[in-house]
């Protein structure tokens, strides 16, 4: 499948089948995340794979949605703020940007493997930190529920290029 087809196929899945994700597929997804670009190649990310029932139960209170609880596994993408590049001109920390790039690699790789996922950013960060017992330098950026979709994609609503591209 070409890249445009892959991007068009990816959507935010909010209903999952009770079917486990094969280890080979998960490993491929994580390898795609590992290969994501980052500022100055610092790779300031950590990926927590949450698949045991106990770990999933501990994470679910961070985001109270019934569909979220259906997912057979979660990947929590964390930014390592102690290892990220900071731009010298203004001190801007690229940890979030790097983590977001890796997270989207996960989403696209999941789609390529016939799986679905959804970006979850509106979650209880302190509760997530506690559930994962994160060290101070790691900040959870996004929760990615992953599994086989039980729903169907809806029509994507996107602005036309004429509204978002500026040529100079």
pLDDT tens profile 5-30: 999 999 999 999 999 999 999 999 99
- Contact (CB, 8 A) for 123 and 143: yes
Q: Has residue 61 been placed in a domain?
A: yes
Phi and psi dihedrals of 138, rounded to 5?
A: -100, 130
Q: Has residue 7 been placed in a domain?
A: yes
Q: Has residue 38 been placed in a domain?
A: yes
Give the predicted TM-score (pTM) of the model. Answer: 0.95
Q: What is the CATH number of the domain that holds 36?
A: 3.40.109.10
- Contact (CB, 8 A) for 71 and 147: yes
Q: Has residue 52 been placed in a domain?
A: yes
**What percent of the chain stands above pLDDT 90?**
96
If one counts the domains in the chain, the total is: 1
- Contact (CB, 8 A) for 105 and 33: yes
Q: Has residue 135 been placed in a domain?
A: yes
CA distance 47 to 101: 13
Q: What residues make up the domain containing 22?
A: 3-151
Q: Has residue 143 been placed in a domain?
A: yes
Q: Has residue 90 been placed in a domain?
A: yes
Q: Has residue 40 been placed in a domain?
A: yes
């Amino acid at each position: 499948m070409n890249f445009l087809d892959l991007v068009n196929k990816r959507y935010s899945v909010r209903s999952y089948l009770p079917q486990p994700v094969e280890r080979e597929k998960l490993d491929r997804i994580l390898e795609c995340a590992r290969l994501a670009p980052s500022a100055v190649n610092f790779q300031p990310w950590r990926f927590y794979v949450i698949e045991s029932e106990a770990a999933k139960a501990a994470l679910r209170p961070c985001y109270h949605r019934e569909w979220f609880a259906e997912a057979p596994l979660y990947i929590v993408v964390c930014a390592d703020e102690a290892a990220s590049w900071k731009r010298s001109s203004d001190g801007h920390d690229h940890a979030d940007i790097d983590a977001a790039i890796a997270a989207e690699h996960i989403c696209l790789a999941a789609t390529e493997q016939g799986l679905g996922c959804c970006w979850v950013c509106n979650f209880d960060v302190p509760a997530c930190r506690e559930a994962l017992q994160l060290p101070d330098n790691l900040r959870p950026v996004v929760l990615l529920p992953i599994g086989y979709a039980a729903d169907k994609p809806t029509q994507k609503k996107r602005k036309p290029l004429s509204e978002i591209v500026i040529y100079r």
